[in-house]
Amino acid sequence: MKTIDAAQVYLPELWATHARFSPDKEAVVCGEVRRSWRNFNNNLNRVANAVRDHGLGRGDKIAVLMGNAVETLEVMYGVVKAGACVVPLSSLLTAEQIEGLINDSDAKLVIASEFVRERLEKVRGNLRNIPKNGFISVGFEGTGWQSFDQFVEHVGTAAPMVSYDMSDEFNIIYSSGTTGLPKGIVQTHRARQHWSYSNAIEMRFHADTRALTTTALYSNGTWLMILPALFVGATVHILPEFNAKALLKTVQDEKITHTFMVPTQFIQTLADSAMDSADLSSLESVLCAGSPLRPDTKAEVLKRLSRNLYELYGYSEGFGTMNRPHQQSAKPTSVGTPVLGFDVRIIDDDENELGANEVGEIAGTGAGMMKEYHNRPDATDAIVWHDPAGRCYVRSGDIGKLDEDGYLYILDRKKDMIISGGLNIFPADIETIIGENEAVLDVTVIGIPHEKWGETPVALVIPKSGANEQAILDWSNERLGKHQRIAAVRFCDEFPRNALGKVLKRELRDSW
């Protein structure tokens, strides 16, 4: 007797469905390149079949080092469609860092654009799992490289004969956090499917969405625009590189409905001369993530850019909260409540759960949690917390609190907290005050050693024209609490940042 199987649709299969039923609709746009869903899916299949012909599939890792282009999405998600695990890496890494992460990931194939060629060739002899024929070049030819065109030359556009499982590894994302060495975050098909539908529902993605990415495609945060848009069969627009004028022009010309920026991009956009004359009326959802918006910046965004502001707090290990447009006025300094499918707790140093308005470490759980840190069982073990019912939560390393209504407030990174004279000082509180000074474009606060107090806060400021360090120091200390007062102000042209705009405070402390 025949029975009905328990059906499960996977993301690669869903993308193929969009290509079948909306073949001429635009799927991905970048510059002059406009790819229909039919052609996009065909190219995914070419990559997938080439990967399979190379002898790779389930469980195999493939490193991708490419810039912002339509082809990058086709390569990354073609790898996934093959049943393999994609490892997107930053194009900003040094040769030694590239070597370290490729080896750490156990990648067996590298697909790279020309701008990383020299760095890869410098270390290719040290890449222990990459065979001689494992280097695929995109946009260039060279000795020891197989061109991408040759790689896909003899494969067809038929869907690869691959079965998937929700526990299969979808990708390894290397953490771009502000402290420590990168760890490989392993995310499964289950986690990525949850990421797709939860964010699509929360930010109201729909089939007519035109979503604009402004950050690097290898970055986990960028996928906040990509995966929900592909999930609902919408159109993804890619900025080759960010600048405020390009953003404003693209939103206006392409009638962008959804976009994501990090705080520094909001600051640059608000300061651009084209800001107030741009037609941004098409925007239905403007997402900020990476780090919190300063209150003064948020007020300007809501006033001048869009009222449809979503603020997301989360970490790649698998948790997120969101402050939605209807919550902004009631809880303007909160990062909201958990994204659909997540839950949050605050715990103390002894792993006891804390109550409302008690300060501790943020821990989250949900369907989007990572599987593990790749090859780092001790690191995985260190961030796991179980509640009394035995449910698994992932610790964030961030300090926060939940108010009586369940809204989350971020106070700071646990490792960035300053302890001065036995008192806990949260740099974000100081940054909020200094950011209100009209001479300050951007600010970050770090702790430096102090003979008497152990640590003391100092402010690094990107100034506006005509600013004065001493004047900002005096103005700030008049408004800060006695224990918060800063010892110095130092001007900078820019801050070191990760792919999502988080300031790398460790580097600033090291160079002070």
Query: In this predicted model, what pLDDT tens digit does every residue of 209-268 receive, in sequence order?
Result: 999 999 999 999 999 999 999 999 999 999 999 999 999 999 999 999 999 998 889 999
How confident is the model at residue 288, as a pLDDT? 94
Give the model's pLDDT for residue 194.
97
Residue-level pLDDT at 419? 78
| C-beta of residue 206 within 8 angstroms of C-beta of residue 181 | no
Does the pLDDT value for residue 412 go beyond 80?
A: no
With a cut of 70, say whether residue 140 has pLDDT above it: yes
Domains of the chain: 30-164 (3.40.50.980), 193-413 (3.40.50.12780), 418-511 (3.30.300.30)
| pLDDT score of 180 | 44
Q: What is the mean pLDDT of residues 427-453?
A: 89
Phi, psi dihedrals of residue 145, rounded to the nearest 5°: -120, 140
Handedness of CA 83, 184, 232, 243 (dihedral sign): negative
Integer CA distances (angstroms), 318 to 189, 309, 328, 337, in order = 13, 22, 24, 15
What's the angle, vertex CA 261, arms to CA 177 and CA 269, rounded to 5? 125
Whether the CB-CB separation of 320 and 368 falls below 8 Å is answered with yes
pLDDT band at 176 (very low <50, low <70, confident <90, very high): low
- Is pLDDT of 450 > 90? no
pLDDT band at 181 (very low <50, low <70, confident <90, very high): low
**316-361, pLDDT tens digit by residue?**
898 999 999 999 989 998 999 999 999 999 999 999 999 999 999 9
Local confidence band at 193 (pLDDT 50, 70, 90 cut-offs): very high
Mean pLDDT of all residues belonging to the chain: 93
Taking residues 427-447, what's their average pLDDT? 91
281-313 pLDDT per residue, tens: 999 999 999 878 888 899 999 999 999 999 999
Tokens of 401: 């609190």
Strands 285-288 and 258-261 turn out to be parallel
Q: Which pLDDT value is given to residue 178?
A: 39
Region 400-428: mean pLDDT is 84
Three-class SS state of 403: coil
Q: Concatenated DSSP letters for 469-480?
A: HHHHHHHHHHHS
